[in-house]
Amino acid sequence: MEKLDRMRKECFWEYRLSDDEIRRLAKSPNEREQKFLFEKILLNSSVMFRDLKIFDTKRLEELIESYQPPICNHDYAFKRKNMAEVYFLNTPLLVDELRWIV
């Protein structure tokens, strides 16, 4: 299994989580734990698409669809969520500055 050093440094710098703990959170039956992990990766990972693949496909779809960007950094969170929607759910890109000019 891949070591999660980079993910831990970027997303969980304020916590002391092992690779096994991160993997456990991704498989946890506890929805709050999965949402915590999802949000940390969504908002902080430099390789978000690869890191989000830590979740099962079906559960990742549910997490993306249910995520509501917070008010405090709404624009940033909305862009990151939309990028994940486009990549994993094949939905339209809504962020103008990320669209190709045709």
Question: What are the tens digits of pLDDT across the range 78-92?
Answer: 999 999 999 999 999
Give the pLDDT confidence score for residue 3 in this predicted structure.
78
Contact 38, 50 (CB under 8 A): no
Distance CA 20, CA 13 (A): 16
Q: For residues 27 and 100, give the distance between their C-alpha atoms in angstroms, rounded to a whole number.
A: 36
Which segments of the chain have a pLDDT < 50? 1
pTM: 0.91
Q: Which residues of 2-25 are buried (b: 16+ CB within 10 A; e: fewer)?
A: eebeebbebbbeeeebeeeebbeb
The pLDDT value recorded for residue 2 is 64
**What is the predicted pLDDT for the residue at 87?**
97
At 1 the pLDDT is 45
Half-sphere exposure for 4 (CA within 13 Å, toward CB): 25
